[in-house]
Amino acid sequence: MTRTITIIAMAVLLGPVSVSAQLRGRDVTDLDASNSGRGRGANPAAKTPKEAAPIDLTGYWVSIVSEDWRFRMVTPPKGDYPNFLLNPAGAKLANEWDAAKDEAGKDHCKAYGAPNIMRVPGRFHITWADDRTLKIETDAGQQTRLLRFGAPAANAQAAPPSRQGTSVAQWERNALRVDTRNLLPGYLQSNGVPFSANLTMLEYFDVIKEPGGEVWIIDDAVITDPAYLVRSVKRSTHLRKQADAAGWDPQPCMVR
Amino acid sequence: MFKWAAGTLAACVVLGAVPASAQSNLSGVWNNLGILNEDWPDRLPGPELGDYAGLPVTDAVRARADAWDASLITLPEYQCRVHPSDYVSSFAGLRIWEERDSASQQLVAIHTHHFAWGTERTIWMDGRPHPPEYAIHTAMGFSTGKWEGDILAVTTTHLKEGWTRRNGLTRSDSATVTEHFIRHGDTLTLVISVVDPKYYTEPVVRSRDYEYEVNGDIGPYPCEPVEEILRPNGAIPHHLPGANPFLTEYAKAHGIPLEAARGGAETMYPEYRKKMAAMPKPDGAAK
Amino acid sequence: MTRFKFNVAFAGLAFATLGSLAVFAQQPNFDVVEVKVQKAQGNVYMLVGAGGNVTVQIGAEGVVLVDTQFAPMSDKILAAVRSLTQGPLRYIINTHSHGDHVGGNLKKAGATIAGGNVTLDIGDAAQGAQIISHINAYKRMSAKVNGQYATPTGAWPTSTFIGDDKKLYFNGEGIQIVHQASAHTDGDSLVFFRKSDVISAGDLFVTNGYPFIDLDAGGNVQGIVAGLNKIVDLCIPVYGQEGGTMVIPGHGRLSDMGDVINYREMVTIVRDRVQDMVKKNLTLDQVKAAKPTRDYDPLYNTPGAFVTGDAFVEAVYRSLKK
């Protein structure tokens, strides 16, 4: 009897702990930390991020612009940014945007930085640059994002700010989580909606399949920039998988 | 003593390692009014007349929208018409809760309640089939769901005629809608794909984001129709073919080529930007 | 009311009836058609098979049928009714005279499921279920075509009305049979089960095609529009055009006010478009060429549709020219 009660009690106590995998908030499983191969006790059989990928993001993908059409397919007029809640500093910059000045300058790629590039209509080619780095190339603006698994080593020299910034990737359940910072200031929208160098972006990349066979990447982005935004911007972008590189058309950045 | 204790511990480890549910729990109150960072003009004030850009419309639904008159919704029988389930996520709060069998704790259904018109929907998770074709259609339709990993995939049929935009772009009652509910932390993304071969040449795909509200609450949405404008019984406001004077306003206001504003599948693709660049802007376009 | 006979005054009526029935000459293979039962609301069910939908009201007093489909479907229809109740068939109400709605009258009227078929009319005691229709529907069914009656005499209505409506009380609820003049035909009736809150609309309202306006049988688009408006006026939804009063269409799926409103919108708009062109003195060919149904054709002008877009436009045109 005592034995039976003990068995039942232990099952009750221990059973639910690992049975429930219900997600009630961030559920970070840093596969990369355990698979890094660095430090003591590294598991020689650990998978690389490429091997451990729960979803396949590789291939050619195309923007299907069924949302925000007039903000993405054309450059909207100055001052037209209803999707964004800008603070006075941000609104001032947005309302003073000068397209001609940008065109006369050398940098036409301010709207092609990481916080906006996934929303620029175009095609995307995603590959593994190596076992620990996913590479996203775009034909629009000919940009390259490198999503590196694992935090930079403590003694590594910080990369200078760049248009695509520094992106740290990790698998989180069945999705790819990407944290991006270290950006050059740029635009959240092609008509000069500004973001600062302090912007941080959290993305989740999911892959879904429709009954008709179409495969989609859903890129969920949360953009935080207290310098210009009253609150974080959340937007999700859908890209449809293509069988091949059809339509791949590298173009330079354009102001308008 | 030691043997049975070890055996007990082993049993508990096995029990604990029983394949865990990979599902998400979507329950709670979710809101998006504060994060309308996509399609804000379309979703809140409403789309402009003649804006069909970015949708794979057919000639038939273009004609349908060209005839549409916003005065239609002043008719008492239209005033409380609810947003269909494939459109209602465009704005406002959403409550999601689970229904479980009390004995087995198996998930029977997931329910949603939208602030907009207080519409409620049941997503059946118990594998039941969809009704026959002669069963009634509703604004919420008949929905069944399944987990794809931790993403909830929902299929809805038996929808009443609805809309893809609130400017006359109709979605027919023959459509099948697929939704994917994706949760990451306190963000819920709903990806909606509408397959409606009657009126659209390709699936209409859009995504809507919500954020979790710890203290969230959804208010009531009473709606009582009243006679606002006296009309002859049976009068239906609409524009005769070729007689709608508002169809070029959108293009002119935003400096968009008229042809582009008319929509069609090609307007969704990146290469259309090049084609548009060669098109004339409409006369009187805003600079 | 006892059965009474009319003298047929117009041979054209007979031709018209035959013409209407001839439309249904291409009939399905009844052997493979199944009858499906769909509960509408309260005591009322919808049967779907070949031909028009059948409405069934059941209760302690027996059975009411609204319409009876094609004659070869009678056994299956009766079997479907039997799956719901063993009560006797007391009343048949015909929404109009077309063969896909009245073809089963004869067999069903004589059917004894259980008990006697006593209606409330002494004269009809043990004569079978009473068949009720508007007088014009009776005239069409009893017209002679090439020397023969359009429908067998045993299938003729045994009780007709000439005013706006006829009322019954049966199985604990009022049943209002409302005449709609010059709509699908000149003999149309809506049947409103007031407590069950179900309207049987006949071919005034269908969900799977354009309305068939039987001009030769006295139909007219203005009557269709008026009839649809009448249905809308009778309906009370729960909320937002949905729920509440259920509507059983002549063909197609179970519906409610929202569905009727969508259909009414289509018919009214097409009518208005054709009317505008009639005012401008356009010919029928010119009106057809303008494609006034182009935005609705994907919904209603489907392959094999009973009424094509062009046929609907022509019927509307001719209606308005009368």
Which residue in the set C48, C253, C272 is minimally distant from B137, CB to CB? C253
Phi, psi of B182 (to 5 degrees): -120, 120
C181-206 pLDDT tens trace:
999 999 999 999 999 999 999 999 99
Residue B217 to chain C, least CA–CA distance (Å)? 22
Contact B273 A73 (CB under 8 A): yes
Q: How many CA atoms lie within 13 A of C292 on its CB side?
A: 30
Pairing type for strands A166-172 and A144-149 reads: parallel
Please give the pLDDT value at position B130. Answer: 98
A16-51 pLDDT tens trace:
433 333 333 333 333 333 334 344 445 557 899 999
Residue B263 to chain C, least CA–CA distance (Å)? 16
β-partners of residue B44 are none
Instruction: Show residues of chain B in contact with C48, CB under 8 Å.
Output: 134
Contact B160 C242 (CB under 8 A): yes
Contact B273 A175 (CB under 8 A): no
Instruction: Show residues of chain B in contact with A82, CB under 8 Å.
Output: 40-41
Contact B240 C232 (CB under 8 A): no
What residue segments make up the domains of chain A, in order of their start?
Answer: 59-152+159-242
Interface test with A, best of B146, B176, B207, B274 (most A CBs within 10 A): B207
A90-139 pLDDT tens trace:
999 999 999 999 999 988 999 999 999 999 999 999 999 999 999 999 99
Phi, psi of C316 (to 5 degrees): -65, -45
Contact B64 C253 (CB under 8 A): no
Q: Is B9 helix (H, G, I), strand (E, B) or coil?
A: helix
Give the whole-angstrom CA distance, residue A85 versus residue A135.
31
If you count residue pairs, one on B and one on C, with CB atoms under 8 Å apart, how many are there? Answer: 94
Higher per-residue pLDDT: C6 or C56 = C56
Please give the pLDDT value at position C240. Answer: 82
Chains that touch B (3 or more CB pairs under 8 A): A, C
Contact C242 B78 (CB under 8 A): no
CATH topology of domain C11-321: Metallo-beta-lactamase; Chain A (3.60.15)
Which of A242, A243, A225 shows the shortest CA–CA distance to A234?
Answer: A225
Model-level pTM? Answer: 0.89
Instruction: Give, in words, the CATH class of B28-45+80-213.
Output: mainly beta
C230-262 pLDDT tens trace:
999 999 999 988 999 999 999 999 999 999 999
Please give the pLDDT value at position C30. Answer: 83
Please give the pLDDT value at position B233. Answer: 84
Q: What is the mean pLDDT of residues C26-47?
A: 90
Instruction: Show residues of chain C in contact with B63, CB under 8 Å.
Output: 294-295
Q: What is the mean pLDDT of residues C116-132?
A: 59
Please give the pLDDT value at position A155. Answer: 55
pLDDT surpassing 60 at residue C98: yes
Contact C252 B134 (CB under 8 A): yes
pLDDT surpassing 50 at residue C176: yes
Please give the pLDDT value at position C99. Answer: 87
Which residue in the set B67, B137, B240 is minimally distant from C295, CB to CB? B67
Supply the mean pLDDT for chain C: 87
Residues, chain B: 287
Structure tokens at A103: 């065109």
Give the whole-angstrom CA distance, residue B40 versus residue C193.
46
- C abuts A (3+ Cβ pairs < 8 Å): no
Contact C254 B199 (CB under 8 A): no
Angular region, C146: left φ>0, alpha ψ -120 to 50, beta rest: left
B237 neighbors B60 (Cβ within 8 angstroms): no
Contact A236 B209 (CB under 8 A): yes
Please give the pLDDT value at position C146. Answer: 87
Residue ranges with strand state E in chain B: 28-31, 94-100, 107-114, 120-124, 142-148, 151-157, 162-163, 170-171, 176-184, 187-195, 204-213
| Chain B residues bordering chain C (beta-carbon distance below 8 Å) | 58-61, 63-64, 67, 72, 77-78, 80-82, 117-119, 132-139, 160-161, 172-174, 198-199, 223, 233-234, 236, 238, 240-241
Give the largest Cα separation in chain C, rounded.
62
The DSSP code sequence of C91-120 is EEE-SS--HHHHTTHHHHHT--SSS----S
Give the whole-angstrom CA distance, residue B277 versus residue A74.
9
If you count residue pairs, one on A and one on B, with CB atoms under 8 Å apart, how many are there? Answer: 194
Report yes or no for ipTM above 0.95. no
Give the whole-angstrom CA distance, residue C93 versus residue B97.
46
Residue B65 to chain C, least CA–CA distance (Å)? 9
Contact B270 A23 (CB under 8 A): no
Instruction: Show residues of chain B in contact with C272, CB under 8 Å.
Output: 236, 238, 240
A168 neighbors A148 (Cβ within 8 angstroms): yes
Instruction: Show residues of chain B in contact with C256, CB under 8 Å.
Output: 136
Structure tokens at C73: 């479907």
Give the whole-angstrom CA distance, residue A136 versus residue A128.
9
Residue B78 to chain C, least CA–CA distance (Å)? 7
H or E, element range at A9: helix A2-19
Which residue in the set B189, B193, B270 is minimally distant from A62, CB to CB? B270
Please give the pLDDT value at position C50. Answer: 83
Give the whole-angstrom CA distance, residue C123 versus residue C3.
9
Instruction: Show residues of chain A in contact with B155, CB under 8 Å.
Output: 211
**pLDDT interval class at C302 (50, 70, 90):** confident
**Could you tell me what percent of chain A has a pLDDT over 70?**
80
Give the whole-angstrom CA distance, residue A145 versus residue A134.
8
Which residue in the set A25, A74, A208 is minimally distant from B191, CB to CB? A208
Instruction: Show residues of chain B in contact with A232, CB under 8 Å.
Output: 35
Instruction: Show residues of chain A in contact with B54, CB under 8 Å.
Output: 65-67, 69, 73
Contact B240 C273 (CB under 8 A): yes
Q: Which residue of B has its CA nearest to A71?
A: B39
Q: How many CA atoms lie within 13 A of B180 on its CB side?
A: 23
Which of A188, A198, A184, A192 shows the shortest CA–CA distance to A234?
Answer: A188
For residue A48, the tally of other CB atoms under 10 A from its CB is 17
Q: Which residue of B has its CA nearest to C297?
A: B60
Please give the pLDDT value at position A2. Answer: 53
Structure tokens at A97: 């945007």
C6-36 pLDDT tens trace:
333 323 333 333 334 434 445 678 888 999 9
A193-210 pLDDT tens trace:
999 999 999 999 999 999
Contact B272 A73 (CB under 8 A): yes
- A abuts B (3+ Cβ pairs < 8 Å): yes
Contact A74 B254 (CB under 8 A): yes
Q: Which residue of A has its CA nearest to B156?
A: A211
pLDDT in tens, chain B (287 residues): 555 555 555 554 444 443 345 689 999 999 988 788 899 888 888 999 999 999 999 999 999 999 999 999 999 999 999 999 999 988 889 999 999 999 999 999 999 999 999 999 999 999 999 999 999 999 999 999 999 999 999 999 999 999 999 999 999 999 999 999 999 999 999 999 999 999 999 999 999 999 999 999 999 999 999 998 999 888 999 999 999 999 999 999 999 999 999 999 999 999 999 999 999 988 766 54
Please give the pLDDT value at position A29. Answer: 35
Instruction: Show residues of chain B in contact with A174, CB under 8 Å.
Output: 22, 149-151
* b/e code C258-285 from CB counts within 10 Å (16+ = b): bbbbbbbbbbbbbbbbbbbbbeeebebe
Which residue in the set B67, B139, B234 is minimally distant from C225, CB to CB? B234
- Tally: H helices and E strands in chain B: 7, 11
Q: Which residue of C has its CA nearest to B84?
A: C240
